A and B are shown apart, each in its own frame.
Chain A
Amino acid sequence: MSLPKDTEIGTLVDHLFRNQYGKMVAVLTSIFGLEHLGMAEDMVQDTLLEAFQRWSYGKVPPNPEAWLMLVAKNKALNALKREKVKQKVYQAQQYESHRPDDLDHFFGAAEIEDSQLRMMFACCHPAISKEDQIAMVLKTLCGFGNKEIARALLLGEEAINKRLYRAKQTFKKQQLQLTVPTGADLNKRLDAVCTGLYLLFNEGYNSHQGETLIRKDLCLEAMRLCQLLLVHFPDKTKLPALLALMCFHVARFDSRIDNKGALIIFADQDRSFWNTSLIQSGMYYLAEASKGDTFSAYHLEASIAAQHCHATSLETTNWKFIQTLYQKLYELKPSPVILLNLAIVAGQVNGPKEALKQLQLLLSERKLANYHLLHATLGEVHLQLGNHSKALAAFQQAMQCHPSAKEQAFLKEKITRLDQSS
């Protein structure tokens, strides 16, 4: 028997199991076909269990990733040897040319990455609904457990089980293949994958509910997958644009919450908490993104975020340029939320009166009528103009729009202060 002799604990990388889970599931699914995803998941779970048992009693092998892959490979070999599975596999799958005992091909470093890529395209296939896509990406590519997905997306575990089941059924019913699209199809499908990753990122970034740690994980996972895409499609400038956007946002992640867990609005954020190395990465990717001739909403959103990261304070921010960028973004993506942002920027460029005009226009068109941030913004603008009673009414209106617990606390403080001063 062997017992741990040296300090071996530090040798395990954070999230090693989770990350390897995603890789192994992708590889095994490449071998068995998308319709056998469930079987691949079970084999990978067994592989991790085996590691758990052996490593806790003995030493962690010098290369844990390779050890896991080898065990997974042996499990796949054993499964192929079992006649029943072999027949099923041969009936359905596209890798007939490979002899069952020759699996090495699937386990090369490049092929492992390709498997993940194929899996990304499968999970973000247009036949799968957007909400199901996010759950599938988290499960199959990021190795999250159903409970963790539920916690991250603020949903019940039952809802997550349903989403995953529905997506797997679609894989089977529509006989979706694990392939990377080519030719004219590629751009369209790549857009879908980008949207999927963008939504995954936003789930982590924009919600102010739930645990900060797990939400930040969602952002980092979206970045990791985006990087993987970028390595394979270096010419698609949408990818570095999206990645730049993610870098800039994550750079500011920690400054949005104070040490008591309360929300800090942008104007009050301590810029010294911003992660400069992530900002630098963002700048690098943004420069990469501008090398091509394509232009996307991600380019604009990343440029806007870059402007904020560049500026040393709210006052020195180039609001005029940000205004132009938002106007262009609105042309590409005409959404009322961008109009709200434009109103806020107008406040900085032309003063609060202009902001008020634009906000009232939004209100009169009944756009975003139930969006708490519209009313909260209106409240701020009224405050700046000295209309305290109108500000109070707006903040109270915002409270009616079901803001998150943290936002409620923030609004309550505003309301109490106004109540006291009046």
Chain B
Amino acid sequence: MKEFMLLMQGDDSQQASPEEMQQRMQDYMGWMQQMEQSGKLKAGQPLEPRGALLIDKDTVITDGPFLEPKEIIGGYIIIDAADLDEATAIAKTCPLIEHCAIHVRPLVNVPS
């Protein structure tokens, strides 16, 4: 088993109606629960839609949403999967894929 990080990028929920938002949330919660019950979900956290972007030492963009909405990373989760193919297949089942892009990145296991 390897660990993979799923990064959710670019959410169009800002434009969603309250009803749509609730539906999306419930779909996503249901999926997360399934992932947890199957033992595949290791961790996960949402990210605030603000922060700082350091282009270089002298170029720091802060204060509020600093990127285009389609570039904002909304959150991440870490899952267990046999290989990249399985991790990608799992990411495809995530209901958020209807509304954002998902990066699937293998974590490198650095022995301590």
User: Which one of B21, B26, B45, B49 contacts A57 once the chains associate, using CB atoms below 8 Å?
Assistant: B45
Supposing A52-B13, A145-B16 touch, asked if A57 and B44 sit within 8 A by C-beta, the answer is yes
Binary CB contact string for chain B from 9 to 32 against chain A (1 if under 8 A, 0 otherwise): 000011011111110111011101
Kindly report which residue of chain B lies nearest to residue A58, judged by CB atoms. Answer: B46
Supposing A56-B46, A57-B45 touch, asked if A45 and B14 sit within 8 A by C-beta, the answer is yes
- Give the distance to chain A from B15, nearest Cβ to Cβ, in Å: 8
- Is B107 positioned at the interface, with any CB of A under 8 Å from its CB? no
Q: Which A4-29 residues sit within 8 Å CB-CB of chain B?
A: 4, 7-9, 12, 15-18, 20-21
Q: When the two chains form their complex, are residues B18 and A55 in contact, meaning their CB atoms are under 8 A apart?
A: no
- Give the distance to chain A from B30, nearest Cβ to Cβ, in Å: 6
**What are the residues of chain A within 8 A of B19 when measuring CB–CB?**
15, 17-18, 143-145, 148
User: Which one of B21, B29, B32, B46 contacts A48 once the chains associate, using CB atoms below 8 Å?
Assistant: B21
- Is B61 positioned at the interface, with any CB of A under 8 Å from its CB? no
- Is A412 positioned at the interface, with any CB of B under 8 Å from its CB? no
A280 to B18, CA, bound (A): 32
- Is B106 positioned at the interface, with any CB of A under 8 Å from its CB? no
Supposing A56-B46, A143-B19, A148-B17 touch, asked if A9 and B29 sit within 8 A by C-beta, the answer is yes
Supposing A8-B29, A12-B26, A52-B13 touch, asked if A3 and B18 sit within 8 A by C-beta, the answer is no
Q: When the two chains form their complex, are residues A3 and B25 in contact, meaning their CB atoms are under 8 A apart?
A: no
- Is A409 positioned at the interface, with any CB of B under 8 Å from its CB? no
Q: When the two chains form their complex, are residues A18 and B18 in contact, meaning their CB atoms are under 8 A apart?
A: yes
- Is A368 positioned at the interface, with any CB of B under 8 Å from its CB? no
- Give the distance to chain A from B39, nearest Cβ to Cβ, in Å: 12
A1 to B41, CA, bound (A): 13
**What are the residues of chain A within 8 A of B22 when measuring CB–CB?**
12, 15-18
**What are the residues of chain A within 8 A of B75 when measuring CB–CB?**
53, 57
Q: When the two chains form their complex, are residues B13 and A55 in contact, meaning their CB atoms are under 8 A apart?
A: no
Q: When the two chains form their complex, are residues A3 and B44 in contact, meaning their CB atoms are under 8 A apart?
A: yes
Q: When the two chains form their complex, are residues A144 and B44 in contact, meaning their CB atoms are under 8 A apart?
A: no
**What are the residues of chain A within 8 A of B13 when measuring CB–CB?**
49, 52
- Is B43 positioned at the interface, with any CB of A under 8 Å from its CB? yes
- Is B36 positioned at the interface, with any CB of A under 8 Å from its CB? yes
29 contacts between A and B (CB under 8 A): A1-B43, A3-B36, A3-B43, A4-B29, A4-B32, A8-B29, A9-B33, A12-B22, A15-B22, A17-B22, A18-B17, A18-B18, A48-B21, A49-B13, A53-B74, A53-B75, A54-B46, A55-B29, A56-B29, A57-B44, A57-B75, A144-B19, A145-B17, A145-B18, A145-B19, A145-B20, A146-B17, A148-B17, A148-B19
Closest 6 pairs between A and B when the two form their complex, measured CB to CB: A145-B17, A17-B18, A17-B22, A53-B46, A21-B18, A18-B18
